[in-house]
Structure 1
């Protein structure tokens, strides 16, 4: 009887061991099952543009040009309305950093440097198709107190490859600083003075067409400008081309 009991006990142990082995094998097979393949995300489609700006003035360098992609409801300036602080910084000092941070501005690309009289600068942009909307181009006339030029609300959505749009732009006065032309009040090479000044001491605190500079040669004795710094409209030519 004792021998039979041991034999049965051994068979039971072998049976349990075999069952456990089968269960482990089954678990191992489940762990090795490859995960389902995920579909690849669609490729991002982009549109490429070139913005070319030509300085048409005799002696008014332009600050590094900023191109700003923006939504339909964005308006960087409006004639007859008070300039924002962001626009004031651009018009007085050529600083576009605050403009690029405005709500509704979705992207900014700046030029390589100042654009001298008669010179041209070209800015290349690659924009995801889903974000292509409107474009603004803006720059300061640096031998002035607060003059700027540019264009805004350019609709890029339907511009075909190799198609271009051109604009001849006028000079605007931001109305944020008096056009004194006095020493120390202009950031350009004719003076090397200050740029943005938070105090608003303009003749009128609203954006309007710039009346032009007067200069010392015209009888404004405190001016550091000469007749060469005078300008007529248009002051710049801007061309936008879709390249891809």
Structure 2
């Protein structure tokens, strides 16, 4: 399976992601944001792989940033950017965050969803993607988020992990599954984003799903480790996972 190598400008990313939601980016489209015109930019190759048996991801988003910014943190309320990714696969607020924060020095987003290696929905989508991001030396950390599609508000994430310092240096991380704490876990396909059915092969006749937040399901919680799929709805318990949901390898390249 071929690797995806993506490269474009920061402005192109902000223009594309600013209007993108799960209906478009989750099923295609690509974007990379880089620190425009920076001298001595450092280049990184970030490979993200889906380790679950049944949970597809929306296109993975990685952020290279300074230490004074936090994309998410366990025990704290999710930002609007993380809420929109976790509930709806919507990258618009994340792009706005990247644009407004000087501490964010580079962003890269995958061109399509990542499915489990077994591709249970027979979609033809890959289980891993390779992203390229550039940032100046002040960006010493990386964060990663991607929606766990067959959940209400679950996401795969890395919170502020070090970028490799040396050229040809490599660091490998295992990303856990998190609950954004913003929507009740009904585990009903009717409350999940529409691609949850097509990407998993679990079609529900007459059930469309939704790509927007439902105020009646809102909860005033904080980011926590995700409890997994417990079988309270019509999402099969087989969609549960054990251990980290994603592998993220970060390489500094010449």
Report TM bin, short chain: 0.7 to 0.9
Cα offset for 1:200?
Answer: 6.7
Cα offset for 1:141?
Answer: 0.5
Aligned residue for 2:191, secondary structure, equals: coil
CA deviations 1:74-96 (Å, max 9, x no partner) are 11212122112211101101222
The gaps in structure 2 that reach 5 residues or longer are: 1-37, 118-126
Is 1:71 aligned to residue 66 of structure 2? yes
Please tell me whether the aligned partners of residues 176 and 200 of structure 1 are also in contact (alpha carbons under 8 angstroms): no
Please tell me whether the aligned partners of residues 90 and 140 of structure 1 are also in contact (alpha carbons under 8 angstroms): yes
Instruction: Give distance in 1, aligned partners of 2:134 and 2:188.
Output: 42
Please tell me whether the aligned partners of residues 141 and 160 of structure 2 are also in contact (alpha carbons under 8 angstroms): yes
Please tell me whether the aligned partners of residues 100 and 107 of structure 1 are also in contact (alpha carbons under 8 angstroms): no
Please tell me whether the aligned partners of residues 52 and 123 of structure 1 are also in contact (alpha carbons under 8 angstroms): yes
Q: 1:200 to 1:48 in 2, by over 3 A?
A: farther
Please tell me whether the aligned partners of residues 77 and 223 of structure 2 are also in contact (alpha carbons under 8 angstroms): yes
Q: Which residue of 1 aligns with 2:105?
A: 106
Q: Which residue of 2 aligns with 1:201?
A: 217
Cα offset for 1:97?
Answer: 2.4
Is 1:170 aligned to residue 151 of structure 2? no
Cα offset for 1:203?
Answer: 5.5
Q: Which residue of 2 aligns with 1:225?
A: 235
Give the RMSD, CA atoms, in angstroms: 2.2
Is 1:149 aligned to residue 125 of structure 2? no
Please tell me whether the aligned partners of residues 42 and 137 of structure 2 are also in contact (alpha carbons under 8 angstroms): no
Q: Which residue of 2 aligns with 1:132?
A: 139
Instruction: Give distance in 1, aligned partners of 2:179 and 2:96.
Output: 22
Cα offset for 1:175?
Answer: 0.8
Please tell me whether the aligned partners of residues 114 and 128 of structure 2 are also in contact (alpha carbons under 8 angstroms): yes
Structure 2-normalised TM-score? 0.70
**2:51 maps to which of 53, 56, 60:** 56
Q: 1:183 to 1:107 in 2, by over 3 A?
A: same
Instruction: Give distance in 2, aligned partners of 1:82 and 1:225.
Output: 26
CA deviations 1:182-225 (Å, max 9, x no partner) are 2321112247511341627356511111111123xxxx3xx231
The answer to which of 53-62 and 183-192 deviates more is 183-192
Q: Which residue of 2 aligns with 1:3?
A: none
Instruction: Give distance in 1, aligned partners of 2:150 and 2:89.
Output: 11
Please tell me whether the aligned partners of residues 81 and 207 of structure 1 are also in contact (alpha carbons under 8 angstroms): yes
Q: Number of paired residues?
A: 195
Instruction: Give distance in 2, aligned partners of 1:75 and 1:181.
Output: 29
Q: Which residue of 2 aligns with 1:242?
A: 252
